Amino acid sequence: MHMNSNDKNYTNLIDKYVTGKILVTRSSMPGYEEYCEEIRDIWDTHWLTNMGPKHKKLQEDLRVYLGAEKIDLLTNGHMALELTMQALGLTGEVITTPFTFASTTHAIVRNGLTPVFCDIDPESFTIDASKIEALITDKTSAIVPVHVYGNICNIEEIQRIADKHGLKVIYDAAHTFGESYKGAGIGSFGDASCFSFHATKVFNTIEGGAVCFKDETFGNAIYDLKNFGIHGPETVESVGANAKMNEFCAAMGICNLRHVDAEIEKRRLAVEHYHERLDGIKGVRLNKVGDDVKPNYAYLPAVFDPEVFGSDRDEVFAVLAKHNIFARKYFYPLTNTFDCFKGQFDPNETPEALRISKQILTLPLYADLTTEQVDLICDIIISCRK
Ligand SMILES: *Cc1c(COP(=O)(O)O)cnc(C)c1O
Protein backbone atom coordinates (compact mmCIF):
# COMPACT_ATOMS: atom_id res chain seq x y z
CA MET A 1 0.00 0.00 0.00
CA HIS A 2 1.30 3.41 -0.90
CA MET A 3 1.76 5.76 2.00
CA ASN A 4 3.05 9.28 1.49
CA SER A 5 5.24 10.99 4.05
CA ASN A 6 2.37 13.06 5.41
CA ASP A 7 0.43 9.92 6.31
CA LYS A 8 3.50 8.59 8.05
CA ASN A 9 3.99 11.74 10.10
CA TYR A 10 0.36 11.59 11.11
CA THR A 11 0.74 7.98 12.20
CA ASN A 12 3.74 8.99 14.30
CA LEU A 13 1.65 11.68 15.93
CA ILE A 14 -1.11 9.25 16.77
CA ASP A 15 1.48 6.92 18.32
CA LYS A 16 2.93 9.77 20.31
CA TYR A 17 -0.30 11.19 21.67
CA VAL A 18 -2.85 8.42 21.77
CA THR A 19 -1.76 4.80 21.51
CA GLY A 20 -1.36 2.99 24.79
CA LYS A 21 -2.10 6.04 26.88
CA ILE A 22 -5.02 6.95 29.07
CA LEU A 23 -5.57 10.68 28.76
CA VAL A 24 -7.63 12.78 31.15
CA THR A 25 -10.42 12.98 28.59
CA ARG A 26 -11.47 11.67 25.22
CA SER A 27 -13.85 13.60 22.97
CA SER A 28 -17.32 12.18 22.36
CA MET A 29 -18.01 11.66 18.65
CA PRO A 30 -20.99 10.38 16.69
CA GLY A 31 -20.52 7.57 14.20
CA TYR A 32 -18.69 8.64 11.03
CA GLU A 33 -21.70 7.80 8.84
CA GLU A 34 -24.06 9.67 11.12
CA TYR A 35 -22.02 12.86 10.80
CA CYS A 36 -21.66 12.45 7.02
CA GLU A 37 -25.43 12.07 6.74
CA GLU A 38 -25.97 15.19 8.84
CA ILE A 39 -23.71 17.37 6.67
CA ARG A 40 -24.99 16.00 3.33
CA ASP A 41 -27.47 18.84 2.75
CA ILE A 42 -24.74 21.43 3.31
CA TRP A 43 -23.47 20.27 -0.12
CA ASP A 44 -26.91 20.96 -1.58
CA THR A 45 -27.33 24.43 -0.08
CA HIS A 46 -23.68 25.61 0.01
CA TRP A 47 -24.69 27.41 3.23
CA LEU A 48 -21.60 27.07 5.43
CA THR A 49 -22.15 29.62 8.18
CA ASN A 50 -24.14 32.77 9.13
CA MET A 51 -26.99 31.26 11.13
CA GLY A 52 -28.02 28.59 8.64
CA PRO A 53 -30.49 25.73 9.18
CA LYS A 54 -28.09 23.60 11.30
CA HIS A 55 -27.41 26.56 13.57
CA LYS A 56 -31.14 27.25 13.92
CA LYS A 57 -32.00 23.64 14.74
CA LEU A 58 -29.20 23.17 17.27
CA GLN A 59 -30.01 26.50 18.92
CA GLU A 60 -33.64 25.52 19.54
CA ASP A 61 -32.77 21.96 20.62
CA LEU A 62 -30.21 23.29 23.12
CA ARG A 63 -32.60 25.94 24.43
CA VAL A 64 -34.98 23.15 25.40
CA TYR A 65 -32.26 20.79 26.67
CA LEU A 66 -30.70 23.45 28.91
CA GLY A 67 -34.05 24.71 30.22
CA ALA A 68 -33.37 28.26 29.03
CA GLU A 69 -35.85 30.96 28.10
CA LYS A 70 -33.52 32.28 25.38
CA ILE A 71 -30.16 31.21 23.97
CA ASP A 72 -27.61 32.26 21.37
CA LEU A 73 -24.82 30.11 19.92
CA LEU A 74 -21.23 31.33 19.58
CA THR A 75 -17.84 30.18 18.31
CA ASN A 76 -16.67 29.08 21.74
CA GLY A 77 -17.26 29.37 25.47
CA HIS A 78 -14.72 32.12 25.90
CA MET A 79 -16.43 34.43 23.43
CA ALA A 80 -19.73 33.69 25.20
CA LEU A 81 -18.21 34.99 28.45
CA GLU A 82 -16.34 37.91 26.92
CA LEU A 83 -19.23 39.18 24.79
CA THR A 84 -21.78 38.62 27.59
CA MET A 85 -19.80 40.92 29.89
CA GLN A 86 -19.58 43.50 27.10
CA ALA A 87 -23.30 43.24 26.24
CA LEU A 88 -24.24 43.80 29.89
CA GLY A 89 -22.14 46.98 29.94
CA LEU A 90 -20.21 46.01 33.07
CA THR A 91 -17.88 48.59 34.63
CA GLY A 92 -15.24 48.74 37.36
CA GLU A 93 -14.87 45.62 39.50
CA VAL A 94 -16.20 42.09 39.09
CA ILE A 95 -16.21 39.53 41.92
CA THR A 96 -15.11 36.07 40.78
CA THR A 97 -12.84 33.20 41.87
CA PRO A 98 -9.29 32.27 40.85
CA PHE A 99 -10.13 28.52 40.92
CA THR A 100 -11.16 28.32 37.28
CA PHE A 101 -9.89 28.03 33.72
CA ALA A 102 -7.93 31.00 32.31
CA SER A 103 -10.95 31.99 30.21
CA THR A 104 -13.09 33.30 33.11
CA THR A 105 -10.48 35.75 34.39
CA HIS A 106 -9.28 36.66 30.89
CA ALA A 107 -12.83 37.55 29.81
CA ILE A 108 -13.05 40.00 32.73
CA VAL A 109 -9.64 41.57 32.11
CA ARG A 110 -10.12 41.76 28.31
CA ASN A 111 -13.28 43.81 28.98
CA GLY A 112 -11.15 46.37 30.84
CA LEU A 113 -12.63 45.26 34.17
CA THR A 114 -10.82 44.48 37.43
CA PRO A 115 -11.28 40.95 38.83
CA VAL A 116 -11.73 40.88 42.61
CA PHE A 117 -11.00 37.36 43.80
CA CYS A 118 -13.24 35.70 46.36
CA ASP A 119 -12.20 32.46 48.07
CA ILE A 120 -13.88 29.11 47.37
CA ASP A 121 -15.75 26.64 49.53
CA PRO A 122 -13.27 23.70 49.79
CA GLU A 123 -16.08 21.11 49.64
CA SER A 124 -17.76 22.22 46.40
CA PHE A 125 -14.81 24.20 44.94
CA THR A 126 -17.29 26.97 43.97
CA ILE A 127 -17.32 30.58 45.21
CA ASP A 128 -17.85 30.88 48.99
CA ALA A 129 -21.00 33.00 48.94
CA SER A 130 -20.54 34.00 52.59
CA LYS A 131 -17.39 35.91 51.59
CA ILE A 132 -18.84 37.90 48.66
CA GLU A 133 -20.43 40.85 50.48
CA ALA A 134 -17.19 41.90 52.17
CA LEU A 135 -15.64 42.39 48.71
CA ILE A 136 -18.38 44.66 47.31
CA THR A 137 -17.37 48.31 46.77
CA ASP A 138 -19.09 51.22 44.99
CA LYS A 139 -17.21 50.12 41.84
CA THR A 140 -18.59 46.54 41.80
CA SER A 141 -20.89 45.84 38.83
CA ALA A 142 -21.19 42.04 38.72
CA ILE A 143 -20.53 38.63 40.23
CA VAL A 144 -19.04 35.97 37.92
CA PRO A 145 -19.25 32.61 39.74
CA VAL A 146 -18.11 29.31 38.19
CA HIS A 147 -20.02 26.00 38.51
CA VAL A 148 -16.77 24.06 39.01
CA TYR A 149 -16.65 20.37 37.84
CA GLY A 150 -20.42 20.40 37.52
CA ASN A 151 -20.89 21.45 41.17
CA ILE A 152 -23.54 24.14 41.16
CA CYS A 153 -22.87 27.38 43.07
CA ASN A 154 -25.03 28.59 45.96
CA ILE A 155 -27.49 30.11 43.49
CA GLU A 156 -30.06 31.42 46.00
CA GLU A 157 -27.52 33.24 48.17
CA ILE A 158 -25.66 34.72 45.19
CA GLN A 159 -28.93 36.03 43.73
CA ARG A 160 -29.96 37.48 47.11
CA ILE A 161 -26.67 39.40 47.35
CA ALA A 162 -26.88 40.56 43.72
CA ASP A 163 -30.47 41.82 44.14
CA LYS A 164 -29.60 43.62 47.38
CA HIS A 165 -26.64 45.44 45.81
CA GLY A 166 -27.93 45.85 42.24
CA LEU A 167 -25.28 43.59 40.67
CA LYS A 168 -25.44 41.43 37.53
CA VAL A 169 -24.77 37.68 37.81
CA ILE A 170 -23.02 35.84 34.98
CA TYR A 171 -22.42 32.14 35.53
CA ASP A 172 -19.50 30.38 33.91
CA ALA A 173 -21.49 27.20 33.28
CA ALA A 174 -18.88 25.53 31.04
CA HIS A 175 -18.80 22.45 33.32
CA THR A 176 -22.55 22.03 33.84
CA PHE A 177 -23.98 21.06 30.45
CA GLY A 178 -27.38 19.41 30.87
CA GLU A 179 -27.55 19.62 34.65
CA SER A 180 -30.53 20.81 36.63
CA TYR A 181 -30.85 22.31 40.09
CA LYS A 182 -34.05 21.67 42.11
CA GLY A 183 -35.63 20.65 38.82
CA ALA A 184 -34.76 23.87 36.95
CA GLY A 185 -32.49 23.69 33.90
CA ILE A 186 -28.97 25.03 34.38
CA GLY A 187 -29.58 27.59 31.62
CA SER A 188 -32.20 29.39 33.71
CA PHE A 189 -30.06 31.11 36.37
CA GLY A 190 -28.56 34.58 36.74
CA ASP A 191 -28.66 37.32 34.11
CA ALA A 192 -26.73 34.95 31.84
CA SER A 193 -25.12 31.50 31.92
CA CYS A 194 -22.23 30.79 29.54
CA PHE A 195 -21.51 27.32 28.16
CA SER A 196 -18.55 25.80 26.34
CA PHE A 197 -18.94 23.09 23.71
CA HIS A 198 -15.19 22.57 23.33
CA ALA A 199 -14.00 19.11 22.24
CA THR A 200 -13.10 18.19 25.83
CA LYS A 201 -16.50 18.96 27.35
CA VAL A 202 -19.40 16.57 28.11
CA PHE A 203 -21.15 17.87 24.99
CA ASN A 204 -19.09 19.24 22.11
CA THR A 205 -19.51 20.98 18.77
CA ILE A 206 -15.72 20.61 18.17
CA GLU A 207 -15.38 24.27 19.21
CA GLY A 208 -18.47 26.13 20.30
CA GLY A 209 -20.35 27.88 23.03
CA ALA A 210 -23.64 29.45 24.02
CA VAL A 211 -25.16 31.99 26.34
CA CYS A 212 -28.53 31.41 28.01
CA PHE A 213 -30.52 34.42 29.18
CA LYS A 214 -33.98 35.95 29.63
CA ASP A 215 -33.77 39.60 28.56
CA GLU A 216 -34.51 40.40 24.91
CA THR A 217 -32.44 43.61 24.89
CA PHE A 218 -29.43 41.61 26.05
CA GLY A 219 -30.14 39.06 23.30
CA ASN A 220 -30.08 41.77 20.64
CA ALA A 221 -26.79 43.11 22.02
CA ILE A 222 -25.19 39.64 21.95
CA TYR A 223 -26.38 39.04 18.40
CA ASP A 224 -24.88 42.37 17.27
CA LEU A 225 -21.59 41.56 19.01
CA LYS A 226 -21.33 38.16 17.33
CA ASN A 227 -22.13 39.44 13.84
CA PHE A 228 -20.40 42.83 13.36
CA GLY A 229 -23.50 44.82 14.41
CA ILE A 230 -24.89 44.18 10.92
CA HIS A 231 -28.67 44.64 10.65
CA GLY A 232 -29.07 44.60 6.87
CA PRO A 233 -27.09 44.79 3.63
CA GLU A 234 -26.64 48.53 4.07
CA THR A 235 -27.08 48.94 7.83
CA VAL A 236 -24.40 48.51 10.47
CA GLU A 237 -25.67 49.75 13.81
CA SER A 238 -22.88 48.94 16.24
CA VAL A 239 -19.21 47.95 16.44
CA GLY A 240 -19.51 44.20 16.82
CA ALA A 241 -17.01 41.36 16.59
CA ASN A 242 -17.40 38.01 14.82
CA ALA A 243 -18.27 34.97 16.92
CA LYS A 244 -20.77 32.99 14.83
CA MET A 245 -20.98 29.18 15.07
CA ASN A 246 -20.58 27.59 11.61
CA GLU A 247 -22.78 24.87 10.09
CA PHE A 248 -20.22 22.04 10.45
CA CYS A 249 -19.86 22.66 14.17
CA ALA A 250 -23.65 22.93 14.53
CA ALA A 251 -24.02 19.60 12.65
CA MET A 252 -21.56 17.97 15.08
CA GLY A 253 -23.68 19.34 17.92
CA ILE A 254 -26.91 17.98 16.40
CA CYS A 255 -25.32 14.51 16.24
CA ASN A 256 -23.70 14.62 19.67
CA LEU A 257 -26.91 15.82 21.31
CA ARG A 258 -28.63 12.59 20.20
CA HIS A 259 -26.13 10.60 22.28
CA VAL A 260 -25.31 12.87 25.19
CA ASP A 261 -27.68 11.21 27.70
CA ALA A 262 -26.16 7.80 26.95
CA GLU A 263 -22.65 9.28 27.26
CA ILE A 264 -23.51 10.80 30.66
CA GLU A 265 -24.87 7.42 31.81
CA LYS A 266 -21.56 5.75 30.84
CA ARG A 267 -19.65 8.45 32.71
CA ARG A 268 -21.82 7.75 35.77
CA LEU A 269 -20.79 4.09 35.78
CA ALA A 270 -17.09 5.04 35.65
CA VAL A 271 -17.54 7.56 38.47
CA GLU A 272 -19.37 4.99 40.61
CA HIS A 273 -16.52 2.55 40.14
CA TYR A 274 -13.97 5.20 41.17
CA HIS A 275 -16.02 5.74 44.32
CA GLU A 276 -16.16 2.00 45.07
CA ARG A 277 -12.40 1.78 44.83
CA LEU A 278 -11.29 5.04 46.48
CA ASP A 279 -13.96 6.14 48.97
CA GLY A 280 -12.40 4.14 51.82
CA ILE A 281 -8.85 5.37 51.20
CA LYS A 282 -7.78 7.83 53.90
CA GLY A 283 -6.34 11.09 52.60
CA VAL A 284 -8.16 10.90 49.26
CA ARG A 285 -11.41 12.83 48.80
CA LEU A 286 -13.44 12.45 45.60
CA ASN A 287 -15.87 15.11 44.39
CA LYS A 288 -19.35 14.81 45.91
CA VAL A 289 -22.49 15.72 43.96
CA GLY A 290 -24.94 18.04 45.77
CA ASP A 291 -28.38 16.76 46.85
CA ASP A 292 -30.46 19.03 44.61
CA VAL A 293 -28.35 18.47 41.48
CA LYS A 294 -28.99 16.24 38.48
CA PRO A 295 -25.32 15.68 37.65
CA ASN A 296 -23.47 15.30 34.34
CA TYR A 297 -20.32 13.56 35.67
CA ALA A 298 -18.14 16.00 33.73
CA TYR A 299 -15.00 15.59 35.84
CA LEU A 300 -13.69 13.47 38.68
CA PRO A 301 -11.38 15.57 40.84
CA ALA A 302 -9.62 13.93 43.79
CA VAL A 303 -8.10 15.95 46.65
CA PHE A 304 -4.95 14.41 48.16
CA ASP A 305 -4.13 15.42 51.72
CA PRO A 306 -0.37 14.70 51.91
CA GLU A 307 -0.40 14.60 55.74
CA VAL A 308 -2.81 11.67 55.73
CA PHE A 309 -2.15 9.98 52.36
CA GLY A 310 1.66 10.14 52.59
CA SER A 311 2.25 11.17 48.97
CA ASP A 312 1.28 14.59 47.67
CA ARG A 313 -0.64 15.43 44.50
CA ASP A 314 2.50 15.96 42.40
CA GLU A 315 3.88 12.53 43.36
CA VAL A 316 0.61 10.80 42.43
CA PHE A 317 0.54 12.71 39.12
CA ALA A 318 4.12 11.63 38.34
CA VAL A 319 3.57 7.94 39.20
CA LEU A 320 0.44 7.83 37.02
CA ALA A 321 2.36 9.51 34.16
CA LYS A 322 5.10 6.88 34.47
CA HIS A 323 2.37 4.33 33.71
CA ASN A 324 1.15 6.32 30.69
CA ILE A 325 -1.87 7.64 32.55
CA PHE A 326 -2.30 11.37 32.25
CA ALA A 327 -4.40 13.00 34.94
CA ARG A 328 -4.54 16.79 34.99
CA LYS A 329 -3.65 19.36 37.65
CA TYR A 330 -6.93 21.17 37.09
CA PHE A 331 -7.24 23.91 38.28
CA TYR A 332 -3.60 24.65 38.90
CA PRO A 333 -2.12 27.22 38.98
CA LEU A 334 -4.78 29.63 40.23
CA THR A 335 -5.54 32.40 37.74
CA ASN A 336 -4.46 35.03 40.30
CA THR A 337 -0.94 33.56 40.16
CA PHE A 338 -0.58 33.56 36.33
CA ASP A 339 2.62 35.09 34.93
CA CYS A 340 0.55 37.56 32.90
CA PHE A 341 -0.82 39.05 36.16
CA LYS A 342 2.51 39.13 38.01
CA GLY A 343 2.43 41.49 41.00
CA GLN A 344 -1.26 42.35 40.57
CA PHE A 345 -2.99 39.91 42.92
CA ASP A 346 -2.18 38.16 46.20
CA PRO A 347 -3.15 34.46 46.17
CA ASN A 348 -2.88 34.44 49.98
CA GLU A 349 -6.17 36.37 49.98
CA THR A 350 -7.83 33.19 48.65
CA PRO A 351 -6.16 30.61 50.96
CA GLU A 352 -8.64 27.75 50.44
CA ALA A 353 -8.36 28.05 46.66
CA LEU A 354 -4.56 28.12 46.99
CA ARG A 355 -4.50 24.99 49.15
CA ILE A 356 -6.96 23.05 46.96
CA SER A 357 -5.09 24.00 43.77
CA LYS A 358 -2.00 22.25 45.20
CA GLN A 359 -3.88 19.14 46.36
CA ILE A 360 -6.29 18.49 43.49
CA LEU A 361 -5.89 16.07 40.62
CA THR A 362 -8.56 15.55 37.97
CA LEU A 363 -8.59 11.84 37.13
CA PRO A 364 -9.26 10.42 33.65
CA LEU A 365 -12.97 10.34 32.91
CA TYR A 366 -14.86 9.85 29.67
CA ALA A 367 -17.73 7.75 28.41
CA ASP A 368 -15.58 4.93 26.99
CA LEU A 369 -13.28 4.59 30.01
CA THR A 370 -13.60 0.93 30.99
CA THR A 371 -13.99 -0.62 34.45
CA GLU A 372 -10.60 -2.29 33.92
CA GLN A 373 -8.96 1.07 33.18
CA VAL A 374 -10.54 2.60 36.31
CA ASP A 375 -9.22 -0.37 38.31
CA LEU A 376 -5.73 0.14 36.89
CA ILE A 377 -5.79 3.86 37.74
CA CYS A 378 -7.06 3.16 41.27
CA ASP A 379 -4.48 0.40 41.87
CA ILE A 380 -1.68 2.81 40.98
CA ILE A 381 -3.15 5.58 43.17
CA ILE A 382 -3.50 3.21 46.12
CA SER A 383 0.11 2.06 45.62
CA CYS A 384 1.23 5.68 46.22
CA ARG A 385 -0.01 5.54 49.83
CA LYS A 386 2.81 5.78 52.38
C1 LIG B 1 -13.73 25.26 28.72
C2 LIG B 1 -13.96 26.38 29.68
C3 LIG B 1 -14.09 27.72 29.25
C4 LIG B 1 -13.80 28.17 27.83
O5 LIG B 1 -14.48 27.54 26.87
P6 LIG B 1 -13.90 27.44 25.35
O7 LIG B 1 -15.05 26.87 24.60
O8 LIG B 1 -12.71 26.54 25.40
O9 LIG B 1 -13.57 28.82 24.90
C10 LIG B 1 -14.42 28.68 30.20
N11 LIG B 1 -14.57 28.37 31.49
C12 LIG B 1 -14.41 27.12 31.95
C13 LIG B 1 -14.61 26.84 33.41
C14 LIG B 1 -14.07 26.09 31.07
O15 LIG B 1 -13.89 24.85 31.54
pLDDT of residue 2: 52
pLDDT of residue 12: 62
Q: How far does residue 194's CA lie from ligand 1's centre (Å)?
A: 9
Residues in CB range of 138: below 8 A, 6 or more apart: none
pLDDT of residue 15: 57
- Is pLDDT at 75 greater than 70 in this prediction? yes
Largest CA distance in the chain: 71
Q: Report the pLDDT averaged over residues 347-358.
A: 98
Strand partners, 114: 93
Report pTM. 0.95
Q: Report the pLDDT averaged over residues 58-85.
A: 98
What ligand 1 atom has the least distance to the C-alpha of 148? 13
Domain 10-27+259-383 in CATH 3.90.1150.10: yes
174 lines ligand 1 (CB under 6 A): yes
Q: Which residue has the higher pLDDT, 9 or 121?
A: 121
Q: How far does residue 82's CA lie from ligand 1's centre (Å)?
A: 11
Q: Report the pLDDT averaged over residues 177-203.
A: 97
What ligand 1 atom has the least distance to the C-alpha of 107? 10
Q: How far does residue 96's CA lie from ligand 1's centre (Å)?
A: 15
- Which alpha helices (DSSP H) does the chain contain, by range? 5-17, 32-45, 53-65, 77-87, 102-110, 155-165, 216-226, 247-278, 306-309, 313-322, 351-359, 371-383
What ligand 1 atom has the least distance to the C-alpha of 103? 10
Q: With bands split at pLDDT 50, 70 and 90, how would you rate the model's confidence at 339?
A: very high
The CATH code of the domain at 32-255 is: 3.40.640.10
299 lines ligand 1 (CB under 6 A): no
Q: With bands split at pLDDT 50, 70 and 90, how would you rate the model's confidence at 1?
A: very low
Handedness of CA 288, 293, 294, 299 (dihedral sign): negative
Query: Which segments of 14-79 are extended strands (E)?
Result: 70-74
Candidate from 16-30, 58-72, 315-329 with smallest mean pLDDT: 16-30
What ligand 1 atom has the least distance to the C-alpha of 200? 1
pLDDT in tens, 276-287: 999 999 999 999
Q: Report the pLDDT averaged over residues 28-55.
A: 97
pLDDT of residue 20: 79
Q: How far apart are CA 72 and CA 219, in angstroms?
A: 8
Give the mean pLDDT of the chain.
Answer: 95
The domain locations on the chain are 10-27+259-383, 32-255
